[in-house]
């Protein structure tokens, strides 16, 4: 399966090592291919390689595809160096999506840590577009330091958005940070929700995912209403290369979004 | 479980249950006919000190009168006392070398193609968006043209592996078009196993030693009598498909006698009794899933060299990687797919390191996939009992022994938890229940 090539429209440096690329996904005279919040694309840099990257933009505007990329390896470094006008190979979208329909009429808790906010940003857009469909909505977002905060203008906007309980916390911060310091799970007791009618969506580093899911269960939210998005090495994104397995699951095909019930016995197993 | 060769038939609406006999000369005519019909003949042949599965020209290339002694970490060619054509168990190669080749160029494109195309069309400069036109149909290592293949001397374990590969690569929502193209139109001349090796356990996996289905023509080599003439091999022949029957019109053959049919059954029964290994598959999936963090894995991990031999010789291991690179001018980029192995560190690498840092974890991934999670994914074990992983492991790690040891460890655990039955259809709901082993955490 060959990539199709899209043009970089905009490049925003979110932090020192995170860049959001906006790709022009509007083929002339055709409807742009859509995506669902939580899905990912395989992004290809000519001759360098291909990696899975979550789509971070608003699913109601598929003609502009945002991918927010942290420079951690050969391909991600090359992608973050692209400039407007450059071309990016795209295959996708792949994978399943966050259970937004199942969350209707429920309180919704979105928990993100670090780059884990990226696949959840389309969820926030959706929840705010369809605000009346949901109960209380909270975003708990943790970053390492204030310098690692993603989507800062948007975060400021969300801070002032009625109907969104936004809690931002830093795991390390000096006096320049006026807000809370600590792990994102420490914010949970401050959130008002009805645990029997709450759906949670969690993404971040795996230790954060595990501790968040455990904390959410302790609040009384059932494992079948806690959803997490996982990451593994993948090459094909079609369920054929075998690399993204976690026990019986292929992350690319069966995920990347799983209920905690599906993975709670797998994730704690070391090096599975 | 006793099996009779060629009882169930392949793609045949009108099962042909005749038992026929051909001679060595008849087999020669058969192989020549296949070549004449345009097939690329692949069969067993001596090479590099092993019986390899490779291109052959005809019956004279078969390792007649040879066998191989196989044990854990041990493979030696040996002369047989008789002149059997198929008197050996499988060598290192399997059909996947041809149907799911070790290296395959997926596509190649010029830098300009990246600029030119619109956002939803293919990037291929001259080919179609699906990439097939630009797909290399040649194995870059051998440059020999791909199929249609006629595979000769395919063992029952290999047929089972083929059925498994079909499910993995063609049975899901996304299929592998390269496998599909190579698989289509294969002609299979299978041979029941009469001389299992010391590492064989196809009987345990219900894959052999007799033939059941999945072939076009199925052979069972009858024992030669010392008084027979040197070219006197006789082979029982079963018809497995309409294609097989059609080809038979070009091959000299005669009906088998009752004595010959009984002799063929004895060959298979004797092979069933001569299996060098055994694997008790009963409840094995549940038991392995119950000991995910047992210290025994570290014990195996300490012996494992991480060399990837087991995954390379395994006829069902399908994992691949892709390599992207450009030519020296930087104008052309191409993507090559190659076999990969869950025993490498790169396999599970994500930013920050490999998920499976230790060889114990990599061995666990492999064994667990073969014998447990394969059930969840594809509805059967991923092991066919061919014994290759045991033979070709340089330190002789024995899948059948390790599985037995782990199953015993599970049995000795108080309150063995039972994993729910594997249900391969809706993968997300098929996750097994929590194992009772104390969960260790990273933090």
**CATH value at residue A117:** 3.40.50.80
Least Cα separation, residue A222 to chain B (angstroms): 16
CA A24 centroid distance within chain: 20
Q: How many CB atoms lie within 10 A of CB B13?
A: 6
Inside any domain, residue A154: yes
Inside any domain, residue A176: yes
Instruction: Name which of A248, A253, A263 to mutate to probe chain B: the one with the most chain B Cβ atoms within 10 A of its Cβ.
Output: A248
Q: Which residues of B touch A250 (CB under 8 A)?
A: 377, 427
Report the DSSP pairing between strands A137-143 and A165-170.
Answer: parallel
Q: A84 and A113, same structural domain? A: no
User: With contact defined as beta carbons under 8 Å apart, do B304 and B395 qualify?
Assistant: yes
Take residue B432 and report the two structure tokens written for it. Answer: 């097994």
- Minimum CA–CA partner of B423 in chain A: A248
Q: A151 and A47, same structural domain? A: no
ipTM above 0.95, yes or no: no
Find the CB nearest A4 among B120, B134, B433: B120
Q: A186 and A71, same structural domain? A: no
Helices (H) and strands (E) in chain B, counts: 14, 15
Tell me whether residues A1 and B131 touch, CB distance under 8 A.
yes
Take residue B54 and report the two structure tokens written for it. Answer: 């490779």
Q: A121 and A34, same structural domain? A: no
**Nearest CA among B215, B210, B161 for reference residue B188:** B215
Return the number of CB contacts < 8 Å for A and B.
175
Residue A118 CA to residue B229 CA, distance in Å, equals: 76
Q: Which residues of A touch B114 (CB under 8 A)?
A: 5, 46, 87, 89
Inside any domain, residue A212: yes
Q: Which residues of B touch A249 (CB under 8 A)?
A: 427-428, 431
DSSP conformation class of A187: G
Q: A149 and A24, same structural domain? A: no
Of A72, A94, A116, which closes a domain? A94
Inside any domain, residue A32: yes
Tell me whether residues A2 and B356 touch, CB distance under 8 A.
no
**CATH value at residue A30:** 2.40.30.10
Domain boundaries, given as residue ranges, for chain B: 20-102+145-273, 106-138, 284-318+359-430
CA contacts within 13 A on the Cβ side of B201? 21
Secondary structure class of A147 (helix, strand, coil) = helix
Q: How many CB atoms lie within 10 A of CB A101?
A: 8
Percentage helix, strand, coil, to 5, in chain A?
Answer: 25, 30, 45
Q: What are the b/e assignments for B111-137, b being 16+ CB within 10 Å?
A: bebbeebebbebbbbebeeebeebbbe
Tell me whether residues B433 and A265 touch, CB distance under 8 A.
yes
Domain count, chain A: 2
Instruction: Name which of B428, B435, B442 to mutate to probe chain A: the one with the most chain A Cβ atoms within 10 A of its Cβ.
Output: B428
- Residues sharing a CB contact under 8 Å with residue A178, sequence separation 6 or more, in sequence order: none
Q: Which range of residues forms the domain containing residue A85?
A: 4-94
Tell me whether residues B442 and A245 touch, CB distance under 8 A.
no
DSSP conformation class of B248: H
Q: A162 and A118, same structural domain? A: yes
Least Cα separation, residue A161 to chain B (angstroms): 34
Of A44, A71, A94, which closes a domain? A94
Q: A133 and A85, same structural domain? A: no
pLDDT at B135: 34
pTM summary value: 0.88
Residue A132 CA to residue B150 CA, distance in Å, equals: 64
Q: What are phi and psi of B255, to 5 degrees?
A: -65, 145
Residue B370 CA to residue B109 CA, distance in Å, equals: 37
Least Cα separation, residue B371 to chain A (angstroms): 11
Inside any domain, residue A185: yes
- Minimum CA–CA partner of A44 in chain B: B324
Least Cα separation, residue A158 to chain B (angstroms): 30
Q: Residue for token digits 């592998």? A: B176
pLDDT at B227: 67
Inside any domain, residue A269: no
Q: A78 and A111, same structural domain? A: no
Residues with pLDDT less than 50, chain B = 1-12, 118-144, 426-443
Q: Which residues of A touch B430 (CB under 8 A)?
A: 248
Take residue B330 and report the two structure tokens written for it. Answer: 């930087």
Secondary element (H or E) of residue B430:
none
Q: A114 and A19, same structural domain? A: no
Task: Give B 355-414 residues with CB within 8 A of chain A.
Answer: 355-358, 361, 364-365, 368-369, 373, 376-377
Tell me whether residues A211 and B115 touch, CB distance under 8 A.
no
Find the CB nearest A271 among B114, B356, B430: B356
pLDDT tens for each residue of B285-294? 999 999 999 9
Residue B101 CA to residue B318 CA, distance in Å, equals: 10
Report chain A (272 residues): mean pLDDT per 10 consecutive residues: 91 96 88 93 95 96 95 95 95 96 96 96 97 96 94 94 94 90 93 95 96 96 97 94 96 96 95 92
Residue B189 CA to residue A135 CA, distance in Å, equals: 65
pLDDT at B139: 43
Tell me whether residues A243 and B319 touch, CB distance under 8 A.
yes
Find the CB nearest B174 among A5, A7, A238: A238
Q: Which residues of A touch B342 (CB under 8 A)?
A: 242
Of A60, A94, A128, which closes a domain? A94
Tell me whether residues B355 and A232 touch, CB distance under 8 A.
yes
Is B441's Cβ below 8 Å from some Cβ in A?
yes
Inside any domain, residue A28: yes
pLDDT at B230: 64
Q: Which residues of B touch A48 (CB under 8 A)?
A: 324
Instruction: Name which of A63, A242, A252 to mutate to probe chain B: the one with the most chain B Cβ atoms within 10 A of its Cβ.
Output: A242
- Minimum CA–CA partner of B107 in chain A: A2
Q: What are phi and psi of B284, to 5 degrees?
A: -65, -40
Inside any domain, residue A58: yes
Tell me whether residues B431 and A268 touch, CB distance under 8 A.
no
Tell me whether residues A3 and B173 touch, CB distance under 8 A.
no
Q: A116 and A13, same structural domain? A: no
pLDDT at B113: 85
């Amino acid at each position: 399966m060959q990539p199709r090539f899209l043009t970089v429209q905009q490049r925003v440096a979110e932090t020192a090592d995170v860049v959001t690329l906006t790709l022009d996904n509007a083929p002339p005279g055709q409807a742009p291919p859509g995506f669902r919040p939580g899905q990912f694309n395989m992004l290809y840099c000519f001759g360098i390689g291909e990696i899975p990257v979550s789509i971070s933009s608003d699913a109601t505007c598929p003609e502009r595809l945002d991918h927010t990329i942290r420079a951690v390896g050969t391909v991600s470094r090359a992608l973050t160096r692209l400039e407007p006008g450059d071309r990016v190979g795209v295959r996708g979208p792949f994978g399943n999506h966050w259970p937004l329909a199942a969350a209707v009429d429920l309180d919704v808790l979105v928990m993100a840590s670090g780059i884990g906010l990226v696949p959840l940003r389309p969820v926030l857009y959706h929840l705010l577009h369809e605000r009346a469909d949901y109960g209380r909505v909270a975003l708990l977002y943790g970053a390492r330091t204030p310098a690692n905060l993603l989507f800062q203008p948007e975060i400021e906007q969300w801070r002032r958005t009625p109907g969104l309980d936004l809690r931002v916390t830093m795991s390390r911060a000096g006096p320049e940070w006026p807000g809370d310091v600590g792990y994102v799970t420490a914010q949970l007791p401050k959130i008002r929700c009805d645990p029997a009618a709450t759906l949670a969506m969690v993404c971040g580093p795996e230790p954060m995912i595990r501790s968040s899911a455990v904390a959410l269960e302790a609040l009384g939210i059932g494992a079948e209403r806690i959803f997490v998005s996982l990451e593994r090495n993948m090459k094909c994104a079609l369920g054929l290369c075998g690399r993204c397995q976690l026990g019986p699951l292929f992350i690319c095909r069966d995920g990347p979004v799983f209920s905690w019930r599906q993975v709670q016995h797998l994730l704690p197993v070391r090096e599975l | 479980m006793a099996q009779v060769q060629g009882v169930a038939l392949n793609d045949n609406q009108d099962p042909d249950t005749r038992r026929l006999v051909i001679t060595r000369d008849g087999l020669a005519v058969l192989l020549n006919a296949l070549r004449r019909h345009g097939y690329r003949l692949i069969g067993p042949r001596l090479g590099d000190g092993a019986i390899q599965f490779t291109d052959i020209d005809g019956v004279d290339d078969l390792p007649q009168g040879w066998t191989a002694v196989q044990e854990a970490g041990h493979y030696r060619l040996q002369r047989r006392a008789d002149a059997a054509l198929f008197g050996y168990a499988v060598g290192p190669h399997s059909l996947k070398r041809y149907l799911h080749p070790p290296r395959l160029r997926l596509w190649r494109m010029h830098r300009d193609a990246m600029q030119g195309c619109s956002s939803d069309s293919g990037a291929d400069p001259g080919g179609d968006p699906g990439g097939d036109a630009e797909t290399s149909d040649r194995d870059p290592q051998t440059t020999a043209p791909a199929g249609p293949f006629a595979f000769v001397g395919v063992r029952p374990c290999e047929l089972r592996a083929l059925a498994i590969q079909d499910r993995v690569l063609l049975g899901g929502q996304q299929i592998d078009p390269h496998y599909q193209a190579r698989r289509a139109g294969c002609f299979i001349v299978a041979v029941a196993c009469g001389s299992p090796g010391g590492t064989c356990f196809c009987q345990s996996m219900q894959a052999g030693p007799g033939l059941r289905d999945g072939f076009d023509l199925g052979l069972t080599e009858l024992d030669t009598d010392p008084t027979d003439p040197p070219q006197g091999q006789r082979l029982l022949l079963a018809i497995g498909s309409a294609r097989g029957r059609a080809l038979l019109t070009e091959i000299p053959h005669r009906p088998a006698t009752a004595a010959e049919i009984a002799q063929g059954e004895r060959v298979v029964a004797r092979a069933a009794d001569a299996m060098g290994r055994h694997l008790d598959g009963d409840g094995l999936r549940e038991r392995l899933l119950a000991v995910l963090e047992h210290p025994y894995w570290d014990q195996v991990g300490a012996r494992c060299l991480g060399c990837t031999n087991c995954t390379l010789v395994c006829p069902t291991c399908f994992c691949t990687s892709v390599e992207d690179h450009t030519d020296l001018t930087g104008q052309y980029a191409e993507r090559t797919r190659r076999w990969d192995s869950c025993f490498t560190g790169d396999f599970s690498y994500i930013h920050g390191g490999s998920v499976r840092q230790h060889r114990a974890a990599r061995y666990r991934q492999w064994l667990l996939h073969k014998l447990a999670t394969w059930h969840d994914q594809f509805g059967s074990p991923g092991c066919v009992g061919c014994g290759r992983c045991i033979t070709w492991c340089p330190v002789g790690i024995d899948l059948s022994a390790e599985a037995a040891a782990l199953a015993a460890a599970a049995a000795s655990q108080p309150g063995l938890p039972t994993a729910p039955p594997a249900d391969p259809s809706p993968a997300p709901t098929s996750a097994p229940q929590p194992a009772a082993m104390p969960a260790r955490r990273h933090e």
